[in-house]
């Protein structure tokens, strides 16, 4: 079975796209070795491990964190809206602040 599919079927990634991103970023090991190709075959009984968990639900969170550190914008106590069809990374950052 392909590694990206394996991650989704075992609940280690929410989608094949997210699995592909984790693999491309070098965050997945198969049999103790980092694998960077989503189509890498996973042998029966192989140990598959994620090297790091995602802290935020979407990459948008990291973009907003970068903007908030670069520009002096105080979001605490403000009313905000995350308008879009994404995973909610902006909202997560705003709620944490």
Show pLDDT as tens, one digit a residue, over the chain (97 residues).
999 999 999 998 989 999 999 999 899 999 999 999 999 999 999 999 998 666 777 778 888 889 888 998 888 998 988 887 677 888 888 888 8
Q: How many domains does the chain have?
A: 2
Is 24 a domain residue?
Answer: yes
* Domain identity same for 43 and 8: yes
* Domain identity same for 41 and 72: no
pTM exceeding the 0.75 threshold for the entire prediction: no
What CATH number does the domain containing 11 carry? 3.10.290.10
Contacts of 40 (CB under 8 A, 6+ apart): 2, 3, 23, 30
Task: Give 41-53 pLDDT, tens digit per residue.
Answer: 999 999 999 986 6
Closest CA to 80 of 90, 67, 71: 90
CA angle 88, 48, 8 (to 5 degrees): 40
Closest CA to 28 of 66, 59, 2: 2
pLDDT confidence of residue 7: 95
Domain that holds residue 74: 60-96
pLDDT confidence of residue 37: 97
Backbone dihedral region for residue 89 (phi beyond 0: left; psi -120 to 50: alpha; all else: beta): alpha
Closest CA to 19 of 48, 60, 43: 48
Is 55 a domain residue?
Answer: no
* Domain identity same for 43 and 66: no
* Domain identity same for 45 and 67: no
* Domain identity same for 9 and 46: yes
* Domain identity same for 44 and 77: no
What's the mean per-residue pLDDT of the chain? 89
Residue with tokens 């705003």: 94
Is 17 a domain residue?
Answer: yes
Dihedral through CA 49, CA 39, CA 10, CA 54, nearest 10? Answer: 50
């Amino acid at each position: 079975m392909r590694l990206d599919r394996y991650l989704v079927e075992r609940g280690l990634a929410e989608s094949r796209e997210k699995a592909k991103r984790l693999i491309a970023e070098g965050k997945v090991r198969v049999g103790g070795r980092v694998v960077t190709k989503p189509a890498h075959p996973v042998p029966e009984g192989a140990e598959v491990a994620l090297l790091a968990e995602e802290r935020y639900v979407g990459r948008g969170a990291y973009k907003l964190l970068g903007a908030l550190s670069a520009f002096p914008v105080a979001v605490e106590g403000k009313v905000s809206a995350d308008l879009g069809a994404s995973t909610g990374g902006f909202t997560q950052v705003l709620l944490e602040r």
